[in-house]
Structure 1
Amino acid sequence: MDKYYLVSSDILPDVIEKVVEAQNLLRTGKTRRICEAVKMVGISRGTFYKYKDSIFPFEAENTSRKAIITLVIHDEKGVLSMILTRIAQLNCNVLAINQTIPINRVSNVVLTLDITDLPGNVEDLVALLKKLDHVNSASLVSVE
Structure 2
Amino acid sequence: MKEKTGYFIVNQKVLPEVFIKVVEAKRLLELKKVQTVQEAVDKVGISRSSFYKYKDSVFPFFENSRGRTITISIQLEDKAGLLSHVLNVIASIGGNILTINQTIPVNKIANVTITMETDPMKDEIKELMDKVESIEGVLNLKILARE
Q: What one-letter code is carried by the residue in structure 2 that aligns with 1:134?
A: G
Specify the alignment match of 1:66 in structure 2.
69
* Unaligned residue ranges in structure 1 (runs of 5+): 1-63
Give secondary structure in 2 for the equivalent of 1:76: coil
Contact preservation (8 Å) 2:89, 2:131: no
* Unaligned residue ranges in structure 2 (runs of 5+): 1-66
Matched, 1:94 2:78: no
Matched, 1:114 2:114: no
Task: Give the CA deviation at 1:80.
Answer: 0.4
Residue among 77, 81, 95 paired with 1:78: 81
Contact preservation (8 Å) 2:75, 2:111: yes
Quick one: distance in 2 between partners of 1:142 and 1:119? 20
TM-score, with length taken from structure 1: 0.53
Residue among 99, 124, 127 paired with 1:124: 127
**Could you say which structure has the larger radius of gyration?**
1
Task: Give the CA deviation at 1:106.
Answer: 0.5
Q: What one-letter code is carried by the residue in structure 1 that aligns with 2:116?
A: L
Specify the alignment match of 2:17 in structure 1.
none
Give secondary structure in 2 for the equivalent of 1:83: helix
Give secondary structure in 1 for the equivalent of 2:99: strand
- Sequence identity (%): 30
Specify the alignment match of 1:30 in structure 2.
none
Q: Deviation per CA, 1:70-122, whole angstroms, max 9, x where unpaired?
A: 00001111110111011100101110001111011100000001111112221
Specify the alignment match of 2:54 in structure 1.
none
Q: Deviation per CA, 1:118-137, whole angstroms, max 9, x where unpaired?
A: 12221221122111111001
Cα RMSD of the aligned pairs, angstroms, is: 1.1
Residue among 133, 136, 139 paired with 1:133: 136
Q: How many residues align?
A: 81
Following TM superposition, where does structure 1 have runs of at least 4 consecutive aligned residues deviating by more than 4 angstroms?
Answer: none
